[in-house]
Amino acid sequence: MSFASHVLRRGLATGVGRLAAINHVTVIGGGSMGNGIAQVSAQAGYQVTMVDQSDEILQKSVGIINKSLQRVVKKKFADDPAKGEAFIQGIVGNISTSTDAEKVVANSDLVIEAIIENMDIKKKLFTALDKAAKDTTIFASNTSSLSITEMASVTGRQGLFGGLHFFNPVPIMKLVEVVRTPQTTDDTFDSLFEYCKKVGKTPVNCKDTPGFIVNRLLVPYMIEAVRLVERGDADPRDVDTAMKLGAGYPMGPLELADYVGLDVNKFIIDGWHEKFPDDELFKPSELLNKLVSEGKFGRKTGEGFYKY
Task: Answer left, alpha or beta for residue 208, where phi above 0 means left and psi between -120 and 50 means alpha.
Answer: beta
Radius of gyration of the chain (CA): 20
* Active site residues per annotation: 144, 165, 177, 215
Q: How far is 129 from 156, CA to CA, in rounded Å?
A: 11
Q: What is the DSSP code (8-state) at residue 22?
A: P
Task: Find all residues with CB under 8 Å of 232, minimum gap 6, and list them.
Answer: none
Q: Tally helices (H) and strands (E) across the chain.
A: 13, 8
Q: How far is 203 from 60, CA to CA, in rounded Å?
A: 29
How many other C-beta atoms lie within 10 A of the C-beta of residue 303?
Answer: 17
Contact 198, 192 (CB under 8 A): no
